[in-house]
Structure 1
């Protein structure tokens, strides 16, 4: 009987795999597996599969597993571990390579049969660290995979009703264990490449009714930064965590949040050598036993080989999921089981309550981004490249030491490329001599102490080096992931790819983590240009010897971060949108006697317009982009005001069609002017789309963007002065001709490329405010908002409030739109204001949900071009769905 393992045993009609454009039932999945089984043949062969959270890689994996073909997952073409993939293929010489992206999935048969002697129990080969470049592979059996998937399903109580969203790559044993355990239980898996920091991930999560997702410690950093605590996820049943130690306070915080929101946090512990999981902490103990790894999984056992007086020692695991052994050469594929228990290399102790706790490491491994990195292997890889280096680890970061400043960049880049992690995950230093112990061994503790001393001396930034050559690819990959543009190239900027003010925040945070301080115009630079800019700005002090005097004292931002670790940053335009909409609503209920929030929003409109819509694309594309924004704003406004007009008669057709400003008007305010701001925003985009459809004007703006903005600003000044201070009609403030002043201030400020330009726009804003402020402080408040936009890039916000700020900013259009129908129906005024804001956020979430569903439907029926990209008009559909 041929070896094999079937994971497609779910009920025929139940969904097994759910992708953005397709749902595959278990019945259909079995048919797909049967078809691919014929392609792979009956003779056992080693199959390499390029990993991807997509249907084709999963079908190929399930087919190989069922037919008995040993599998090795490698990073896909877009991964930072591409070099490692090629090295694995060259070293282990697979018989079949399954790969494909835009050109289509394919099976590349390198030979008809197999050149390898494959042991009957061999089911899978896995890198010991996901994609770290280690020459050793873990040999896993069919029983390893089956027993571990069954154990995970048992302690997580997975049922066919459960649905897991993929957050990790399949070449990482944690990510693969999610697929295995859910399919073995007859449940379903939502296949997505989106990060948890991407709104599209949560749109898919909600639309598909997903019940769980997996996270490594870095995942929880992204959850914190993206306001997870404020998300409403009624289908979420639990979050699993592994891939490194999660700080006990974070465990307790997420456990409490889960208790309040109705989901569990399940902390787990494992290694590739044990297939995936060895221990788990029952969710009911997450708060009281935070910091422990819990107890052994069903069918397994843990013990501590105590070697010290405090009862700690190396943690040893036994169970049916322990690997067969390692493979360093193809000849090892024929070897059977060589170990029966796993010595984890972790120091642990068992508490009185029976739970196990990791207290240190007995060998040289470090978890980085959930990947288990062999420090000795990193040194070996660098030595092969002619670089004498020493490695250490601290706080789950890889520390790299070389003896020449000129090698800092080279070594860091080589290591990052080899082990497949972002370059910012490695701290690299130059050091005069490698410290040694009295016995002549490398003194790792001394290296760690020197790294810590250097961080303190240089405020945790001077010791970091500028990005090496691979960083451009990492930037491109980040854009592709977070903006949903898999076709992104090295010459596509954030703005050109359709980034907007909300995605700007998350992308910039990720880039700053990767690269350090960013230039102000990074969003307009391609990955190639951004890499070159950062290389050009590198200073000698950034790569100087360890222990050298820092070139400058710690920056204010560094001191603030050190002082307030719980403080996050929010991009100023986002914070201003949130603050302005609160001011507007509270003013409308009479709780604030201060105007100007709408002026701030107009400035933000112009500022973001210049940054994200007027990018250097062909003229027709700029016009189409502007019209797309107008459509995004107009559709919900027309739908809502039309509904109110039909139900109550509150709005007239001119208000519903957003054309009040083009008609004769009285001097008195009426209900029909409640949506004046939305009207201005829509017609601003339409007017500019028409303007940039004129080739000569488009070329002029491209040649001199700041000068062009200054001309429009100069034209806006007399128009506003004549209409507001000479004509004196109060309603003239609320038409496009006068509101264009603040739009142009924001636009010109975004186009300023130097401090002189910024100073000029600031001076104009401050000087003009008293000219237009005859009746109130509206212009003064607007000018303050302009100054904040130009001179304050980020606003510190307590981390628990970040999600609220993003929600207010994201929902600002809807809050402005619907609050009029709420605030005067709830007493007292403070409750009316809060109700107006709450209903607006609810309307925003509802609209996002509906348009996201429409977007999924639209994508299913949109024809793609030969290169796999969408037709141009489809981007408007996706943008309307919530980008």
Structure 2
């Protein structure tokens, strides 16, 4: 049996505490996870509809510890998209919040625990699962896409151990949830903290809600993680003025944070005896690949950092050669035991073995400096050709965001760039600004004003959803 955690060693220590005061100890988590698994007939596929709740984490732990393969999905996933995934993957069981029972009224409830129910779907188990397959997660840009990342037991354990090492985690930690657990970054926080016997504080409340901070303070949270958007919101909340004596560290991943925000939070941490850790990762590498040591957070503003313990980075030039000179852009390639098995797009793919052999071409363009610290400069595919000139869309977004302090997303097709903003007063100024910066024909640029920039659970922009505004 491929277990990831040794839960019983932490005995009566509280493993999870929710905002309503409910708790579950490590012994109880171990016992309940075995009990849940007894109701599942064999190694099979389960859809787990996730919330930041005790029952949701219990299900995840049970499935991983007992050789059952979960697909983690947001419990708020639109019904049509969920039905499409059900039809594609035909899971043997569902583990869902009790209040969503009516949605599956034609199926049979066979077990209940911690406000979650186990449902027998009635689908025949006529599929084969690769022996090392532990978990399936949606890729960060997807909603109801059938494309899933296949993670192994050793992927999960190796990455969690590496995170424990570089963040120096121990059983006194009390991380509070700020990210969905079906998102690789949010899940990595759970994985690594369960490994060391910490107490995970779970809440579905967000950082813009008063109840979140009340729970934070009353439970003496020691850390939280956030994507760039989280830190933009914290900046608006004047986070630096909050009195949070229990807070030890804050982590950031899920995309590149604006350099001036990086500097603000790095200085806040330095001045208040806390750690600010910028990290880099992808679902395809289980979670983490790089991190910026907190003592370098101010000095190396804008850097993603260095490779995690046990991993290797290299940069590959367009001609396939390895880059050895600092400040030279190439595609970042990562090697490590946490590189996942590959993708699945249908039920038959779940029998596939390891297709990556520990090597991941990240699709991110990067540079390193004289000290060996890496900087992400854009995505390999986030480029347009405008009248023969190569334009980096990530760079366009960054320039507009920094100059106008506004939400923005740019996309398009060659010779046509479409820029989306949420402020009507910015339409003309943004266009003039980019025309001036690029020195390209104004005809190539069009600015759309929309109510909200569409984002996924992790705060990443859903560029595909913008196509409806300009696609013919």
Relative to 1, partners in 2 of residues 1:83 and 1:289: Cα closer, same or farther, differing over 3 Å? farther
In the other structure, the counterpart of 2:143 is 132
RMSD (Å), alpha carbons? 3.2
Distance 2:29 2:60 in 1: 12
Relative to 1, partners in 2 of residues 1:273 and 1:167: Cα closer, same or farther, differing over 3 Å? same
In the other structure, the counterpart of 1:167 is 178
Matched, 1:357 2:326: no
Q: Would you say the 8 A contact 1:347–1:359 is kept in 2?
A: yes
- Deviation of 1:135 after TM superposition, in Å, equals 3.2
Q: Would you say the 8 A contact 1:10–1:185 is kept in 2?
A: no
Q: Would you say the 8 A contact 2:409–2:419 is kept in 1?
A: no
In the other structure, the counterpart of 1:264 is 275
Distance 2:263 2:452 in 1: 36
- The 3-state SS of whatever aligns with 2:59 is helix
Matched, 1:45 2:63: no
- Deviation of 1:252 after TM superposition, in Å, equals 1.4
Higher RCO structure (Cα 8 Å, ≥6 apart):
2
Among residues 156, 159, 175, which one is paired with 2:167 in the alignment?
A: 156
In the other structure, the counterpart of 1:179 is 190
In the other structure, the counterpart of 2:416 is 447
Distance 2:220 2:394 in 1: 39
Q: Would you say the 8 A contact 1:280–1:295 is kept in 2?
A: yes
Deviation by residue 1:733-765 (Cα, 9 ceiling, x = unmatched): xxxxxxxxxxxxxxxxxxxxxxxxxxxxxxxxx
Q: Would you say the 8 A contact 2:60–2:70 is kept in 1?
A: yes
- The 3-state SS of whatever aligns with 1:359 is strand
In the other structure, the counterpart of 1:70 is 69
Relative to 1, partners in 2 of residues 1:268 and 1:306: Cα closer, same or farther, differing over 3 Å? same
Matched, 1:328 2:345: yes
- The 3-state SS of whatever aligns with 2:39 is helix
Distance 1:425 1:131 in 2: 21
- Deviation of 1:85 after TM superposition, in Å, equals 3.0
Deviation by residue 1:641-682 (Cα, 9 ceiling, x = unmatched): xxxxxxxxxxxxxxxxxxxxxxxxxxxxxxxxxxxxxxxxxx
In the other structure, the counterpart of 1:344 is 362
Deviation by residue 1:108-156 (Cα, 9 ceiling, x = unmatched): 1124872210000000111111643433211110000000011111111
Q: Would you say the 8 A contact 1:131–1:171 is kept in 2?
A: no
Unaligned runs of 5+ in 1: 366-391, 399-423, 435-441, 478-542, 547-883
Matched, 1:315 2:314: no
- Deviation of 1:545 after TM superposition, in Å, equals 8.5
- Deviation of 1:312 after TM superposition, in Å, equals 1.7
- The 3-state SS of whatever aligns with 1:349 is strand
In the other structure, the counterpart of 1:858 is none
Structure 1 or 2: larger strand share?
Answer: 2
Q: Would you say the 8 A contact 1:7–1:62 is kept in 2?
A: no
- Deviation of 1:99 after TM superposition, in Å, equals 0.8
Distance 2:87 2:123 in 1: 18
Distance 2:220 2:419 in 1: 50
Q: Would you say the 8 A contact 1:267–1:280 is kept in 2?
A: yes
Matches within 5 A, 1:88-107: 88-102=85-99, 104-107=115-118
Distance 1:123 1:458 in 2: 51
Q: Would you say the 8 A contact 1:347–1:360 is kept in 2?
A: yes
Relative to 1, partners in 2 of residues 1:85 and 1:113: Cα closer, same or farther, differing over 3 Å? closer
Q: Would you say the 8 A contact 1:6–1:65 is kept in 2?
A: no
- The 3-state SS of whatever aligns with 2:154 is helix
Distance 2:408 2:144 in 1: 15
Matches within 5 A, 1:207-606: 207-307=218-318, 311-340=328-357, 341-364=359-382, 393-394=393-394, 442-443=413-414, 446-448=415-417, 457-458=427-428, 463-465=448-450
Q: Would you say the 8 A contact 1:240–1:268 is kept in 2?
A: yes
Matches within 5 A, 1:761-772: none
Relative to 1, partners in 2 of residues 1:161 and 1:110: Cα closer, same or farther, differing over 3 Å? same
- The 3-state SS of whatever aligns with 1:176 is helix
Distance 2:395 2:256 in 1: 10
Q: Would you say the 8 A contact 1:74–1:131 is kept in 2?
A: no
Relative to 1, partners in 2 of residues 1:3 and 1:115: Cα closer, same or farther, differing over 3 Å? farther
Matches within 5 A, 1:572-721: none
Deviation by residue 1:146-202 (Cα, 9 ceiling, x = unmatched): 000111111111100001100000111000001000001111110001111212111
Deviation by residue 1:694-722 (Cα, 9 ceiling, x = unmatched): xxxxxxxxxxxxxxxxxxxxxxxxxxxxx
Relative to 1, partners in 2 of residues 1:247 and 1:466: Cα closer, same or farther, differing over 3 Å? closer
- Deviation of 1:3 after TM superposition, in Å, equals 3.4
- Deviation of 1:426 after TM superposition, in Å, equals 8.1
- Deviation of 1:272 after TM superposition, in Å, equals 0.4
- Deviation of 1:285 after TM superposition, in Å, equals 0.4
In the other structure, the counterpart of 1:28 is 28
- Deviation of 1:65 after TM superposition, in Å, equals 0.3
Q: Would you say the 8 A contact 1:10–1:187 is kept in 2?
A: no
Q: Would you say the 8 A contact 1:9–1:184 is kept in 2?
A: no
Relative to 1, partners in 2 of residues 1:215 and 1:467: Cα closer, same or farther, differing over 3 Å? closer
- The 3-state SS of whatever aligns with 2:354 is coil
In the other structure, the counterpart of 1:583 is none
Relative to 1, partners in 2 of residues 1:46 and 1:211: Cα closer, same or farther, differing over 3 Å? same
Deviation by residue 1:586-626 (Cα, 9 ceiling, x = unmatched): xxxxxxxxxxxxxxxxxxxxxxxxxxxxxxxxxxxxxxxxx
In the alignment of these two chains, the number of paired residues is 407
- Deviation of 1:38 after TM superposition, in Å, equals 1.0
Relative to 1, partners in 2 of residues 1:450 and 1:396: Cα closer, same or farther, differing over 3 Å? closer
Q: Would you say the 8 A contact 1:428–1:465 is kept in 2?
A: no
Unaligned runs of 5+ in 2: 102-114, 320-324, 384-391, 399-405, 432-446, 458-467
- The 3-state SS of whatever aligns with 1:164 is coil
Q: Would you say the 8 A contact 2:408–2:419 is kept in 1?
A: no
- Deviation of 1:324 after TM superposition, in Å, equals 0.5
In the other structure, the counterpart of 1:61 is 60
Q: Would you say the 8 A contact 1:130–1:171 is kept in 2?
A: no
In the other structure, the counterpart of 2:460 is none
- Deviation of 1:10 after TM superposition, in Å, equals 4.7
Distance 1:466 1:212 in 2: 33
Distance 1:35 1:545 in 2: 52
- The 3-state SS of whatever aligns with 2:150 is strand
Relative to 1, partners in 2 of residues 1:211 and 1:451: Cα closer, same or farther, differing over 3 Å? closer
Relative to 1, partners in 2 of residues 1:544 and 1:273: Cα closer, same or farther, differing over 3 Å? closer
Distance 2:139 2:6 in 1: 24
Distance 1:44 1:173 in 2: 23
